[in-house]
Amino acid sequence: MKEAYLYKKLSEKKVQCRNCAHFCIIENGKRGICGVRGNKAGKLYSLVYGKAVALNIDPIEKK
């Protein structure tokens, strides 16, 4: 998990995500509409940072 960049702290436990047009207000322990970012202790974190998006098994040499 990595702390997100685009957010505004609204109170001790609430943050507003500014990564998309939804501008979710996220309470402590909850996730935004996208399900990708979550609030932990008043900070917004990216929950998918560093995870593979797509995998493909392919031979190195093709005929």
Instruction: Return the structure tokens found at 51.
Output: 């995870």
Q: What is the pLDDT of residue 58?
A: 87
What is the distance between the alpha carbons of residues 37 and 35, in angstroms, rounded to a whole number?
6
Residue 51 resides in a domain? no
Q: What is the pLDDT of residue 63?
A: 74
Decide: helix, strand or coil at residue 63.
coil
Q: Which domain holds residue 25?
A: 2-46
Q: What is the pLDDT of residue 23?
A: 95
Residue 53 resides in a domain? no
- How many other C-beta atoms lie within 10 A of the C-beta of residue 37? 23
Q: What is the pLDDT of residue 1?
A: 84
pTM of the predicted model as reported, rounded to 2 decimal places: 0.76
Residue 60 resides in a domain? no
Number of domains in the chain: 1
Lateral strand order in the sheet of 15-17: 7-9, 15-17, 25-26
Q: 45, 7 in Cβ contact below 8 A?
A: no
Q: What is the mean pLDDT of each run of 10 residues along the chain (63 residues)?
A: 91 93 94 94 92 87 79
